[in-house]
Amino acid sequence: MTASVSSETRPAPSDAPVLQISDIFGLQQALNVRPVMGTGFMINATAVIDPTGALDAAQGNPTDCVFVDGTSGPCPTSTQSSAAFADNEVPMGILNSVNSSFTLANVPNPPSSLHVSLNGLRLTPASDFTLTGPVITFIGIDVPNAGDHILADYRY
């Protein structure tokens, strides 16, 4: 058997059956779930989904930002510095089984980013320690002893 491939387009023979979409099992359902081009569709543009579910192009200037709601506009400028990280910081304080307060170099932001380990075991906020600004206060039996190792990881 010999097969050949050609880029030539040939008309169907006049006696060839004409197929309808409904003749092919599952084709209509597959076509129904495919996105369609909306009235604002453009090639080489950022695609957004319009309220009908069709694909449109984001409108705006080439230097604009496209936001998660599909709108576009000037990119926001941030006066905030990007987040910094402190990893394996040793908080300042005396290890003597009496002192329960230790100070970090920075205030964790957000406070929930703080992870404290005592001798390699991660402690639980509110159960094992509290945080007020940059100060960690150990609770109960978790007050560090001489020779213990405290490490803190956090964003600020």
Q: What is the pLDDT of residues 15-28, one digit of tens each?
A: 778 889 898 999 99
> Model-level pTM greater than 0.75?
no
Q: Which residues pair with 116 in a beta bridge?
A: 152
Single out the residue of 26, 40, 43, 144 nearest to residue 91, CA to CA. 144
DSSP string, 37-64: B-TT--TTS-EEE-TTS-EEEPPS-TTP
Residue 48 pLDDT > 50, yes or no? yes
Residue 118 pLDDT > 50, yes or no? yes
Confidence of residue 1 (pLDDT cuts 50, 70, 90): very low
Confidence of residue 97 (pLDDT cuts 50, 70, 90): very high
Q: What is the pLDDT of residue 12?
A: 64
